[in-house]
Amino acid sequence: MSVDKSPKTSEAMWPSLIAMAAAGALHGLLPEHLAIGPRWMLLAIVFGILIPSEIFHALGKHKFCKILGYVAISIVTLAMIWSVVRLVNAIPLHQIKPEQLLRSAIVLWATNILVFAGWYWKLDAGGPHKRDLRETHDDGAFLFPQMTINGPTDDPDDKKNWTPHFIDYLFLAFNTSTALSPTDVPVLSRWAKVLMMIQAMISLAVVGLLAARAVNIL
């Protein structure tokens, strides 16, 4: 029985793996009372899941790889939400120092971008493996500007029909956390709209905490 392998997908997976590892590492920068368990634990769990996930992918077992990927990003997402809730609760009780608040807010804001970039990358148009099986990307949850162009773009690295890479979803997530809305990429699917609302609410809560604390200090 032939094994379905896709070198293109394998290369495209690395940015997402690095993003999840970075999110786990950022969790370790939070104060102890904002982290779940020991601060190193989340990164260890992420590596413990992603390593066998990559092995399954190399063997062509994309279904198992996909499941483990969802488990890893779900754990990171829950850990981030837990930390945001703990941070919100700590502010009125004056349980966090100003320098800790600044560091924690930056960490959670950056983690929010990485986490939701991972979700968009995994869910859009069936995921990276299914996207790479198509010759061109003309249908999905997001309408990237390149999808409206007939033929290759003027990007020197884009010799064939355009398809989104992880950096495109990272840019989308960055804009959502910064502007609290999509900028150049319209959102087409309802599930994507829900995720983007959640991401914007988390970013607004973190930025709002910083603004409130700054006003309080002044």
Q: 81-100, pLDDT tens digit by residue?
A: 999 998 888 777 777 777 78
Q: Determine the average pLDDT of the residues in 193-215.
A: 81
Cα Rg of the chain (Å, integer): 19
Q: Could you give the CA distance from residue 77 to residue 28 in angstroms, rounded to a whole number? A: 14
pTM above 0.85, yes or no: no
CB 209 within 8 A of CB 101: yes
Tens-place pLDDT, residues 33-62: 888 888 889 989 988 888 887 777 777 777
Q: Are 199 and 174 in contact (CB under 8 A)?
A: no
The per-residue pLDDT for 79 is: 93
To 10 degrees, the CA torsion angle through 99, 104, 107, 112? -150
Using the predicted structure, report yes or no on whether residue 211 has a pLDDT greater than 70.
Answer: no
Q: Which of 206, 175, 217 is nearest to 30 (CA)?
A: 206
Q: What is the pLDDT of residue 12?
A: 58
